[in-house]
Amino acid sequence: MSKHTFEQYAISSTVSRIVEGLGFKQPTPIQQQVLPPALRGESLIGQSHTGSGKTHAYLLALFSRMDENADAVQFVITAPTRELAIQIHEEVKKAVKHAGKQEIWRSKLLIGGTDKQKMVEKLASNPPHIVVGTPGRILDMVKEEAVDLYQAKSFVLDEADLMLDLGFIEEVDQILVRMAENVQMLVFSATIPERLQPFLKKYLTNPVHIQIEDDKPSPETMEHRLISLRHKQPGEVIMDITKAIQPYLAIIFTNGKGLADELAEDLMSRGLETGVLHGGLSPRERKRVLKEIQNLRYQYIVATDLAARGIDIQGVSHVINAQMPKEEEFYIHRVGRTARAGLEGTAINLYQEADLPLIQKLEKKGLSFQFYEVKQGEWKEVNAYNERQIREKKETDLDKQAKQLVRRPKKVKPGYKKKMKKQAEQNKRRLKQNRFKKK
């Protein structure tokens, strides 16, 4: 079977230089499917998980359609978090450099936490070809008339489901009503929740739908461990775990900002140097924490799901779920922070009885969990939560058939239950004899 190459797509010679400069040899599955329709200017919905190569799937297509003589915004790329917007803009800058177009292709990062007035002035004096940013700040600049998006050819909505969860879809809607009706829409999302459908129907007519199925929900190099909380506090159990592991970097996930702050405070009071990362931090605090993470100040970071989706933190060796997420997809995204680029990784999950339905769903998806506890700094394997259920004698088909054959009396007399039980036993013996004769 022939290998896919970038040369087989209608990319420009300039974009070929970008591909070469980035060291790409073969397009990833999402790139193979996104490039043809995106290059034709068609709208699409792309579903794929972290690390699939979707950012370059749309960037290469956009750059191929660049008209450098048009002095206006041509492409708008929106992301739900500042960190993700910064990462995308960094990739844009790299691509522009490899294309050798630093003096011609202009890009602008529009995110909060920066001086609004200075941004307005810069945009007025030097309008960009490419805008990358968060919906709120892009909308601010449009309302200030610092940037005009009407001539833009394409609009990218990255991490659409997270955009919905964080409540930014209304701002995206307000941006789009100020753009041309025939703008190309490139929507990327790990999941397509039902609540996103009205938005998609409003702005996309017969889009190409691309879905990249992972062979497995998590890498083969990933190990999934379960530890029962048994009425203990998460902080207490995590401190036990820290005696048994030596992480390069561990992310500890909680369900919400308040819980993240509480747990981080608890761990610090127990003497564990811990960073905290969630959407409630001010831009300055968040920037400081990310810098400290890069400088390896922390071995442990307490975070919310926002960090799992919007930030690429390098070198994560362990993921600890202090609280199990509510949905399967969130579990996949959390553990996807580790075991990347072929490295090994461990997911450690603190669970309660209420989490068992989620664990069972994940097992059906092909994940394999091992059950442990930590004693005196050592891992000790324990029985699975359903060990007793497995051992317990299940009612056989024979038992059911035997009971069905019992005639229930029309009038209930004393001792009828005992008689029915005896009759069921007789029926069972008869059924067994019949089976034996047939053999």
Q: Two tokens at 250?
A: 């561990």
For 355, the token pair is 């989490």
One-letter amino acid for residue 3 of the chain: K
d(CA 242, CA 43): 48
Phi-psi domain of 51 (left: phi exceeds 0; alpha: psi -120 through 50; beta: other): left
Q: Where in 259-361 does DSSP place strands (E)?
A: 274-277, 300-303, 318-321, 345-351
- CA–CA dist 62, 65 (Å, integer): 5
Report in angstroms the alpha-carbon separations of 85 from 119, 132, 276, 351. Answer: 16, 6, 20, 34
Give the model's pLDDT for residue 344. Answer: 60
Q: How far apart are CA 140 and CA 112, in angstroms?
A: 10
What pLDDT shows up at residue 50? Answer: 62
| Domain architecture of the chain: domains with CATH | 6-211 (3.40.50.300), 222-389 (3.40.50.300)
- How far is residue 323's CA from residue 331's CA, in Å, rounded to a whole number? 10
Do residues 56 and 24 touch, judged by C-beta distance below 8 A? Answer: yes
What is the per-residue pLDDT for 96? 94
pLDDT of residue 212: 80
Hey, what are 429's tokens?
Answer: 């013996």
Q: What is the pLDDT of residue 393?
A: 40
Cβ(39)–Cβ(62) below 8 Å? no
pLDDT at position 148 is: 92
pLDDT of residue 404: 62
For the full predicted model, state whether its pTM sits above 0.85. Answer: no
Residue 252 and residue 301 in contact, taking contact as beta carbons nearer than 8 Å = yes
- β-bridge pairing 208-211 and 250-253: unpaired
What integer pLDDT is reported at residue 394 of this predicted model?
38
Q: What is the pLDDT along the chain (439 residues), one digit of tens a residue?
A: 346 788 888 788 899 999 999 888 888 888 999 999 999 999 999 987 666 788 999 999 999 999 888 889 999 999 988 878 888 999 999 999 999 998 889 999 999 877 888 888 888 878 899 999 999 999 999 999 999 999 999 999 998 888 887 788 999 999 999 999 999 999 998 778 788 899 999 999 889 999 886 544 444 557 899 999 988 999 999 999 999 988 888 999 999 889 999 999 999 999 998 999 887 887 788 878 888 887 888 889 999 887 666 566 777 889 999 999 988 878 887 887 775 544 567 899 999 999 999 999 888 888 889 999 998 888 998 887 555 443 444 345 556 665 566 555 555 556 666 677 777 777 767 766 665 444 4
DSSP 8-state symbol, 401: H
**Smallest Cα–Cα separation from 35: which of 69, 63, 66, 13?**
63
Best CA proximity match to 45, nearest among 57, 36, 34, 31: 34
Q: Which residues of 192-203 are buried (b: 16+ CB within 10 A; e: fewer)?
A: beeebeebbeeb
Structure tokens, 95: 């691509």
Query: Which two structure tokens, joined as six digits, stand for 151?
Result: 């001539």
CA distance 76 to 224: 39
The DSSP letter of residue 2 is P
Question: Which 3 state secondary structure label does DSSP give 224?
Answer: strand
Partners of residue 251 on adjacent β-strands: 301, 319
pLDDT of residue 215: 47
Q: Which residue has the tokens 């071995």?
A: 299
Task: Quote the tokens at residue 54.
Answer: 């979707």
- The alpha-carbon radius of gyration of the chain (Å, integer) is 28
DSSP state string for 111-167: -SSS-HHHHHHHHHHS--SEEEE-HHHHHHHHHTTS---TT-SEEEE-SHHHHHHTT
DSSP of 156-196, one letter per residue?
A: EE-SHHHHHHTT-HHHHHHHHTTS-TT-EEEEEES---GGG
Nearest 10 degrees: CA dihedral of 200, 204, 209, 213? -30
Reduced to 3 states (helix: H, G, I; strand: E, B; else coil), residue 202 is helix
Q: Tell me the β-bridge partners of 185.
A: 155
Angle among Cα 67, 22, 27 to the nearest 5 degrees reads: 85
